[in-house]
Amino acid sequence: MLESYDGSKQWVGAENLSNLFELFSRSVSCVLLSACYSEEQANAIVTHIDCVIGMNQEIQDRAAISFSEGFYRALGHRSSIEKAFEFGYAAIQLEISKSSRLR
């Protein structure tokens, strides 16, 4: 799903996303899809982009945000994509731990 200029949501199929990212294949090295069940779209995009991270199940908003924060923070500190993924995963685990202590 993408957002249009007027803020409305529009469904975009996996093939169309793949075609879109083909246009960026020389300048984009990694795509993060933080939407639930985005594995199909990730599999389509990876034909043009070296690294694509998608979700094969539901993900809560807070977990997706935590992953993104850890992932992009690590990339900002010049970590590899693989290491950034590990930081993102660790951020989710910390969020889960923090949430369970608050109950």
Question: For 40-96, what is each residue's pLDDT tens digit?
Answer: 999 999 999 999 999 999 999 999 999 999 999 999 999 999 999 999 999 999 988
Question: How confident is the model at residue 32, as a pLDDT?
Answer: 97
Question: How confident is the model at residue 103, as a pLDDT?
Answer: 53
Average predicted confidence (pLDDT) for the chain: 92
Identify which of 75, 73, 65 has the alpha carbon closest to the alpha carbon of residue 98: 65
Confidence of residue 3 (pLDDT cuts 50, 70, 90): confident
Question: How confident is the model at residue 1, as a pLDDT?
Answer: 72
The full set of domain ranges for the chain reads 1-59, 60-103
For 43, residues 6+ apart whose C-beta sits below 8 A from its C-beta are: 14, 52, 54
Record the pTM.
Answer: 0.82
